């Protein structure tokens, strides 16, 4: 079998998923020469053959992440940054002004400032509320703001600031009370009620927000998280938890035994919602179905260091939040330069997945795009060698999504019910 096709069985029927354009071929007769069909189809396959690494030096830096605090009020069981153990340190007004001066060549471009922390950004609200005015005073007239918060510290003043400045707001929240069990205060108390009440206050104040749920693949209650958001009509994105830097959360491949069955249970709920033409609040589910439907391949995983950087409390510059916990991975400073030679030499950016030999024969390569280069570096000391655990997660996830898509194809008018147009 040609490795550019993945065989998938659904309801005792055989399908072949094409790596190159996501076309799905149903084979009614096993005696058909599938090799010939594949050979003819691949004649027009479009591949990236060359990639000029120097293009990285001329792309605009439109996304600037700013770490405005170190330390957190929570002690989450899977925190990859180990934020709860860090002493509280805050970015100063003076350092923020220095950051603006470093990026002053971006004044004439639209930029997005997204506020991160080795912890909870709203703990430095005294600086946060000054930032829009500081940007304007510094000559940055076209700036958007994004904030990700754990949702426990939101006050009326913060909500007013968010609404006034049209801040794109994300709340880190894992759904139901059971699926939020890993998210606790430092004294061990759960955060569910406090965050849920703040979500309702945001809605009462007509403030848009989305939740970011981190799913632990070994969690036996995965469905609870998705049902919570759907039942409460809360838009959300989800991702899968990975290793923490201090070893407190180290998922194992052996723990994935029930992952596929749990995931299929989740997707069965969504299949029924879509067939019934009900609104779906999971952005991932709809976007990923669109990708399969339209054949939207993705050959580069992210734009870190191509049009975005992270600035830490001390002014050091990183290509990714995953790197910012390790000073040795810094690629410059706001008080000197961005070291593009180091970025290119160390591979601190995502290349097209076709450039990674380890992904050459993988059927999900244009879906996952080779994974997170920063995580690959941290786990394997090689940005081009994917982390095995996340590789398995991606394959299990996408196989389940393809099965769901095939089932929907025979059950409903996909274009109408998922609002693809």
Q: At what angle do helices 222-231 and 259-275 cross, to 10 degrees?
A: 20
Residue 243 lies in a domain: yes
Q: What is the pLDDT of residue 413?
A: 64
The CATH number of the domain holding residue 108 is: 3.20.20.70
Residue 266 lies in a domain: no
Across the chain, which has 421 residues, the per-10-residue mean pLDDT values are: 81 90 80 52 37 42 88 90 85 98 91 88 97 96 95 98 97 95 94 98 98 90 96 97 83 90 95 93 95 90 87 94 82 95 90 91 94 87 90 96 92 60 37
For residue 256, give the nearest of 124, 118, 389 by alpha carbon: 389
- Asked whether residue 349 is assigned to any structural domain, the reply reads no
- Confirm whether 376 is domain-assigned: no
Q: Within a domain: residue 188? A: yes
In a domain, 171, yes or no: yes
Neighbours of 291 (CB within 10 A): 18
At 228 the pLDDT is 97
For 58, 101, 107, the CA distances from 104, given in Å and listed in that order, are 16, 5, 5
User: Is there a domain that residue 282 lies in?
Assistant: no
For residue 415, what pLDDT is reported? 56
> Does residue 128 sit within a domain?
yes
Question: What confidence score (pLDDT) does residue 375 get?
Answer: 87
**Beta-bridge partners for 394:** none
Continuous segment of H or E residues that includes residue 35: helix 34-41
Q: Which domain holds residue 130?
A: 60-251
- How many angstroms separate the CA atoms of 280 and 107, rounded? 38
Distances (CA, A) of 98 to 14, 93, 116, 308, 311: 60, 9, 17, 17, 11
Q: Phi, psi at residue 212, to the nearest 5°?
A: -115, 115
- Number of structural domains, the chain? 1
What pLDDT does residue 420 have? 46
Q: Give the DSSP per-residue string, 180-245.
A: TTT-BBTTS-B-HHHHHHHHHHHHHTT---EEEEEE-TT-TTHHHHHHHHHHTT--EEEEE----T
| Distance between first and last Cα of the chain | 35
Residue 336: what pLDDT? 96
């Amino acid at each position: 079998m040609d490795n550019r096709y993945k065989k998938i069985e659904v309801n005792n029927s055989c399908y072949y998923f094409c790596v190159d354009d996501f076309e799905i071929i149903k084979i009614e007769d096993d005696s058909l020469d599938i090799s010939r069909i594949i050979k003819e189809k691949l004649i027009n396959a479009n591949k990236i053959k060359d990639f000029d690494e120097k293009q990285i030096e001329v792309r605009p830096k439109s996304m600037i992440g700013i770490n405005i605090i170190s330390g957190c009020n929570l002690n989450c069981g899977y925190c990859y940054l180990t934020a709860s153990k860090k002493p509280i340190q805050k970015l100063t007004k003076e350092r923020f002004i220095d950051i603006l001066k470093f990026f002053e060549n971006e004044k004439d471009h639209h930029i997005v400032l997204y506020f991160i922390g080795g912890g909870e950004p709203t703990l430095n609200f005294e600086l946060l509320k000054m930032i829009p005015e500081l940007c304007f005073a510094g000559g940055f007239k076209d700036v958007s703001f994004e904030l990700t918060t754990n949702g426990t510290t939101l006050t009326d003043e913060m909500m007013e600031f968010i609404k006034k400045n049209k801040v794109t707001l994300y709340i880190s929240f894992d759904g139901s009370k059971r699926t939020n069990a890993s998210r606790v205060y430092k004294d061990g108390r759960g955060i569910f009620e406090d965050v849920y009440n703040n979500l309702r206050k945001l809605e009462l104040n007509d403030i848009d927000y989305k939740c970011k749920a981190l799913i632990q693949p070994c969690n036996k209650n995965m469905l609870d998280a998705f049902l919570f958001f759907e039942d409460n009509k809360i838009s959300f994105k989800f991702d899968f938890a990975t290793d923490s830097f201090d070893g407190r959360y180290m998922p194992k491949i052996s723990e994935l035994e029930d992952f596929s069955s749990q995931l299929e249970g989740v997707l069965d709920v969504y299949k029924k919602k879509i067939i019934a033409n009900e609104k779906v609040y999971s952005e991932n589910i709809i976007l990923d179905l669109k990708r399969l439907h339209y054949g939207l391949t993705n050959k580069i995983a992210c734009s870190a260091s191509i049009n975005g950087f992270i600035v830490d409390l001390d002014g050091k510059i990183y290509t990714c939040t995953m790197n910012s916990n390790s000073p040795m991975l810094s690629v410059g400073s706001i008080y000197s330069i961005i070291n593009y030679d180091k970025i290119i030499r160390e591979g601190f950016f995502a290349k097209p997945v076709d450039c990674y030999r380890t992904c050459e024969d993988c059927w999900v390569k244009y879906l996952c795009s080779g994974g997170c280069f920063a995580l690959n570096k941290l786990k394997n000391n090689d940005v081009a060698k994917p982390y095995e655990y996340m590789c398995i997660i991606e394959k299990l996830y996408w196989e389940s999504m393809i099965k769901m898509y095939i089932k929907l194809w025979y059950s409903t008018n996909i274009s109408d019910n998922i609002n693809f147009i």
